[in-house]
Amino acid sequence: MATNQDCATAFSQIADLLEITGANGFKVNAYRKAARSCENEPKELGKLAREAPAELRAIEGIGESTAAKIVEFVQTGQIAELQALRLKVPAGLPLLLSLQGIGPKTVKLLWDLAHVTNIDELRASIENGSLATIPRMGEKAVANLREAVAAHDASGSQPIRFRLGEALPIADAVVEHLRTARGTVRVAFAGSARRGRDTVGDLDILVSSDDPTAASTAFLSFPGIKKVLANGATKCAVQLNSGIQVDLRIVKDDAFGAAMVYFTGSKDHNIGLRERAIARGLRLNEYGIFQIAKDPKDDSERPPIASKSEDSIYEALDLPVWPPELRELNGADLTKPPPRLIEQSDIRAELHTHTTASDGNLTIEELVRLAKSRGFHTIAITDHSRASAQANGLTVERLLRHIDAIREVEARVGGIRVLAGSEVDILADGRLDYDDETLEKLDVVVASPHTALRQAPEVATRRLLCAIRHPLVHILGHPTGRIIQGREGLSPDMEALCNAAMESRTALEINCHWSRLDLRDTHVRVATQIGCMIAIDCDIHSADDADNLRYGIATARRGGVVAADCVNTWNESKLHGWLASKRGSPRSM
Binding site for ligand DGT (CB under 6 A): 191-192, 197, 200-202, 204, 262-263, 265-267, 270-271
Minimum separation from the CB atom of position 222 to Ca ion (A): 16
Q: Residue 409 and residue 411: Cα distance in Å, rounded?
A: 5
Q: Residue 416 and residue 364: Cα distance in Å, rounded?
A: 13
Cis peptide before 519 (omega within 30 of 0): yes
Q: Could you tell me the maximum CA-CA distance found in the chain, to the nearest angstrom?
A: 85
| Nearest to ligand DGT of 42, 265 (CB atom) | 265
Minimum separation from the CB atom of position 454 to Zn ion (A): 17
Please identify, among the stretches 28-36, 49-57, 172-180, 200-208, the one whose residues bind Ca ion according to the rule CB under 5 A.
Answer: 200-208
Q: Residue 46 and residue 67: Cα distance in Å, rounded?
A: 11
* Residues engaged in binding Zn ion (CB under 5 A): 448
266 binds, among ligand DGT, Ca ion, Zn ion, none (CB under 5 to 8 A by kind): ligand DGT
Residue 359: CB atoms within 10 A of its CB come to 15
| Nearest to Ca ion of 327, 463 (CB atom) | 327
E strand segments, 280-386: 282-285, 288-291, 349-350, 378-384
- 328 lies in the site for Ca ion, by CB under 5 A: no
- 121 lies in the site for Ca ion, by CB under 5 A: no
| Nearest to ligand DGT of 324, 393 (CB atom) | 324
Single residue of 19, 121, 204, 545 touching Ca ion by CB under 5 A: 204
265 binds, among ligand DGT, Zn ion, Ca ion, none (CB under 5 to 8 A by kind): ligand DGT
Minimum separation from the CB atom of position 96 to Ca ion (A): 18
- 147 lies in the site for Ca ion, by CB under 5 A: no
267 binds, among Zn ion, ligand DGT, Ca ion, none (CB under 5 to 8 A by kind): ligand DGT
| Nearest to ligand DGT of 73, 262 (CB atom) | 262
| Nearest to ligand DGT of 182, 267 (CB atom) | 267
183 binds, among Ca ion, Zn ion, ligand DGT, none (CB under 5 to 8 A by kind): none
263 binds, among Zn ion, ligand DGT, Ca ion, none (CB under 5 to 8 A by kind): ligand DGT
SS (H, E, C) 109-165: HHHHHHCCCCHHHHHHHHHCCCHHHCCCCCHHHHHHHHHHHHHHHHHCCCCCCEEHH
Please identify, among the stretches 191-199, 277-285, 386-394, 458-466, the one whose residues bind Ca ion according to the rule CB under 5 A.
Answer: 191-199
Minimum separation from the CB atom of position 382 to ligand DGT (A): 33
Q: Residue 347 and residue 269: Cα distance in Å, rounded?
A: 29
| Nearest to ligand DGT of 168, 379 (CB atom) | 168
433 secondary structure, DSSP code: S
Single residue of 147, 198, 247, 545 touching Ca ion by CB under 5 A: 247
CA angle (483 as vertex; 567, 35 as ends), nearest 5: 90
- 191 lies in the site for Ca ion, by CB under 5 A: yes
Nearest residue to 228 via CA among 212, 215, 213, 216:
216
For residues 104 and 20, the answer to whether their CB atoms sit within 8 Å is yes
For 93, 353, 480, 496, 523, the CA distances from 487, given in Å and listed in that order, are 32, 23, 10, 23, 17
292 secondary structure, DSSP code: P
Minimum separation from the CB atom of position 201 to ligand DGT (A): 3
- 41 lies in the site for Ca ion, by CB under 5 A: no
Burial zone of 459 (CB within 10 Å; 0-12 exposed, 13-18 middle, 19+ buried)? middle
360 binds, among Ca ion, ligand DGT, Zn ion, none (CB under 5 to 8 A by kind): none
Minimum separation from the CB atom of position 57 to ligand DGT (A): 29
| Nearest to ligand DGT of 94, 191 (CB atom) | 191
For residues 201 and 588, the answer to whether their CB atoms sit within 8 Å is no
Q: Residue 357 and residue 541: Cα distance in Å, rounded?
A: 11
Q: Which long-range contacts (CB under 8 A, 24 or more apart) does 401-410 make?
A: 402/357, 403/441, 403/442, 405/364, 406/364, 406/381, 409/364, 409/365, 409/368, 410/368
Minimum separation from the CB atom of position 340 to Ca ion (A): 27
Minimum separation from the CB atom of position 448 to Zn ion (A): 4
- Which residues in this chain contact Ca ion in the complex, by CB under 5 A? 191-192, 202, 204, 247
